Structure 1
């Protein structure tokens, strides 16, 4: 997804605005979670980043952390297409395009996996910090 779309989505979420002066670029985030929920007609992407916030929430400052995890939830999903399913989805390229008043078009693509859909809305329902193991 273009950096401007990415930053617009992250920058519109209150918790991200409160924590970051400038949200992390897409290149600083790794996809670690993907869920399709047919009951809610939603798709959720989970990302993690080691780019720490400049204005961490008070409860985050109480414990050590080196990673921030956040979820991007797309609702009102339609035209969902899934081709292939593999662990390479974690290395997928994420693309997002605004469709004006129609919502947005999203896709994930990696070797052997391609997922695309149109969504009416996007929100960030969860952000948390934690201490990831050192490699």
Structure 2
């Protein structure tokens, strides 16, 4: 069974409302956004997946959305390390930890990518959109 990375989030309610007890595995998500804010000691990641929710919102269905995008803000980050960057990091994100505990994040493999620890992980936004048109 895949690691339930949502257990590291302060609240995963919005994802759970959409996906029930089976949120997408991070291996099915692509990293689409990274924002490092040294002033606030935070890192925000944007991830997207074509694994659509079991409880598809009416608006998403009406607009034929085929991608779910969500953003996670990690607060009180430390030990941020970036070592190289290439396209391979997009599908290699690992989030582990528990609410109220230290959260570990790793992006990339083989020494290329980024890793850090955080004091909190908060889901800040979930949205659907049309990434490709069906043929």
Taking the TM superposition and a 5 Å limit, the aligned residue runs for 1:15-94 are 15-21=14-20, 22-91=22-91, 93-94=92-93
Relative distance call for 1:131 and 1:97 in structure 2 (3 A) is closer
The TM-score normalised by the length of structure 1 is 0.80
Distance 2:56 2:76 in 1: 31
Q: Which has the higher contact order (CA 8 A, sep 6+)?
A: 2
Q: CA deviation at 1:74?
A: 1.0
Partner Cα distance (2:63, 2:90) in 1: 28
In the TM superposition, what is the alpha-carbon distance from 1:55 to its structure 2 partner? 1.4
Q: Matches of 1:11 and 1:50 in 2, distance apart?
A: 24
The RMSD of aligned alpha carbons is 2.7
SS at the partner of 1:40? coil
User: Which runs of at least 4 in structure 1 moved beyond 3 Å after TM superposition?
Assistant: 9-12, 99-102
Q: How many residues align?
A: 133
Q: Does 1:107 align with 2:109?
A: no
- TM-score w.r.t. structure 2 length? 0.80
Tell me the SS of whatever aligns to 1:4: coil
